[in-house]
């Protein structure tokens, strides 16, 4: 379902371009010859994540809060909307901003795409499925979300953003796509961002106990960031509107993830069990049949290999800040 022209080799705007996922997207786009404008307000992202791109004539970093105003001069072929707090620690501390970037920010990013005649891709999330009652989760599943729970600010922001993206497609003819991203890990995650893998790696490298929520039997399907980026860019270059799940269908218990982190770091850390957060999903695994069929995409980096790369990066990053 590939397009005759590659949007990802043209001029691309990446909102949230200095964040974890955004920075990896910017790197991959520059590597394939695209000219990239990264927009970020540095609330949860950092210029350090794209420092290696700053000398490239094909890359520009612009401080911008997409909830205020978005202006990019010149032609644009593709808008990748990745601006949003994405970890529970962040969106629980920034609930209103999270809702605003999902609503007002998405409206501004869609408006930019409409103005430029560009393809638009929304970074949605597996969180739209909530604590799922269907397993694994296909794109046809509507989800089980608590709109007034503590996670609702993120879940509902993304669900609204999906509805708004669909409305721009149907009402204004904007060429849109929606990707539903499942748990992702890799270099450039913040050690204190609150998600399981960076938390476990940080704790293990420091010789601290790994804090596993609940009894650790809840599951996650974790995808290495390079695989995720490859899937996102394939969707961007296709004519498919989505929603489309991109994630690794290999399911691991949170306890297994913690045990593997201890082994990969060579740590002597113990595992401690702490209270489980409200509305924490019991299971999470993508049905990736649509991505396999339409994009020919499947994850290629095995969990142990991706974990080793991640641990190596964290060890270096923490040593530099010590």
Does residue 173 register a pLDDT over 60?
A: yes
Catalytic site positions: 154
And the tokens for 80? Answer: 């990748």
Does residue 4 register a pLDDT over 60?
A: no
Contact criterion met (CB below 8 Å) for 63 and 37: no
Alpha carbons within 13 A on the beta-carbon side of 177: 25
Question: Residue 322: inside a domain, yes or no?
Answer: no
What is the reported pLDDT for 5? 65
Does residue 78 register a pLDDT over 70?
A: yes
Mean residue pLDDT of the chain comes to: 95
Question: Residue 161: inside a domain, yes or no?
Answer: yes
Phi, psi of 63 (to 5 degrees): -70, 125
What is the reported pLDDT for 66? 98
Question: Residue 156: inside a domain, yes or no?
Answer: yes
SS3 letters across 171-239:
HHCCCEEEEEECCEECCCCCCCCCCHHHHHHHHHHCCCCEEEECCCCCEECCEEHHHHHHHHHHHHHEC
Question: Residue 69: inside a domain, yes or no?
Answer: yes
**CA distances for 289 relative to 5, 61, 161, 199, 296, angstroms:** 25, 36, 24, 31, 10
Does residue 297 register a pLDDT over 90?
A: yes
And the tokens for 292? Answer: 């396999």
What is the reported pLDDT for 1? 34
Question: Residue 106: inside a domain, yes or no?
Answer: yes
DSSP 315: H
Contact criterion met (CB below 8 Å) for 269 and 208: yes
pLDDT digits (tens, 9 = 90+) for 39-62: 999 999 999 999 999 999 999 999
Does residue 212 register a pLDDT over 70?
A: yes
Question: Residue 197: inside a domain, yes or no?
Answer: no
The domain in which residue 237 lies consists of 7-184+225-248+285-300
In whole angstroms, give the CA distance from residue 201 to residue 266. 11
Does residue 152 register a pLDDT over 70?
A: yes
pLDDT digits (tens, 9 = 90+) for 84-134: 999 989 999 999 999 999 999 999 999 999 999 999 999 999 999 999 999
Question: Residue 268: inside a domain, yes or no?
Answer: no
CATH of the domain at 137: 3.40.50.720
Confidence grade of residue 71 (pLDDT, cut at 50, 70, 90): very high
How many residues does this entry show for the chain? Answer: 322
Question: Residue 51: inside a domain, yes or no?
Answer: yes
Confidence grade of residue 34 (pLDDT, cut at 50, 70, 90): very high
Cβ-based burial of 90 (10 A; exposed 0-12, middle 13-18, buried ≥19): buried
- Dihedral sign (CA 230, 233, 237, 240): positive
What is the reported pLDDT for 83? 98
Give the helix/strand (H/E) hosting 130: none
Give the chain's domain count.
1
Q: How far apart are the first and last CA of the chain?
A: 48
What is the reported pLDDT for 279? 84
3-class state of residue 121 by DSSP: strand
């Amino acid at each position: 379902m590939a397009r005759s022209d590659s949007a990802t080799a043209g001029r691309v705007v990446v909102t949230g371009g200095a964040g974890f996922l955004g920075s990896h997207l910017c790197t991959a786009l520059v590597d394939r010859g695209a000219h990239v404008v990264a927009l970020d307000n540095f609330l949860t992202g950092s210029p350090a994540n794209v420092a290696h791109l700053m000398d490239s004539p094909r890359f520009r970093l612009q401080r911008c809060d997409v909830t205020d105003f978005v202006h990019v001069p010149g032609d644009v072929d593709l808008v990748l909307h990745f601006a949003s707090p994405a970890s529970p620690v962040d969106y629980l501390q920034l609930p209103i901003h999270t809702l605003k970037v999902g609503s007002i920010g998405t409206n501004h990013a869609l408006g930019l795409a409409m103005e430029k005649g560009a393809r638009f891709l929304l970074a949605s999330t597996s969180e739209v499925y909530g604590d799922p009652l269907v397993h694994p989760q296909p794109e046809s599943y509507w989800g089980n979300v608590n709109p007034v729970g503590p996670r609702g600010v993120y879940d509902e922001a993304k669900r609204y953003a999906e509805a708004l993206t669909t409305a721009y497609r149907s009402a204004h003819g904007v060429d849109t796509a929606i990707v539903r991203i499942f748990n992702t890990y890799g270099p450039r995650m913040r050690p204190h961002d609150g998600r399981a893998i960076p938390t476990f790696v940080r704790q293990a490298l420091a010789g601290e106990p790994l804090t596993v929520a609940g009894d650790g039997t809840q599951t996650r399907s974790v995808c290495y960031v390079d695989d995720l980026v490859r899937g996102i860019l394939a969707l961007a270059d296709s004519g498919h509107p989505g929603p489309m799940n991109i994630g690794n269908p290999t399911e691991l218990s949170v306890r297994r993830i913690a045990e593997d982190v201890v082994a990969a770091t060579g740590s002597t850390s113990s595992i401690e069990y702490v209270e489980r957060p409200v509305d924490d999903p019991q299971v999470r695994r993508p049905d990736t049949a649509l991505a396999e069929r339409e994009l020919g995409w499947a994850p290629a980096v095995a969990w142990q290999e991706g974990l080793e790369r991640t641990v190596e990066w964290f060890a270096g990053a923490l040593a530099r800040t010590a």
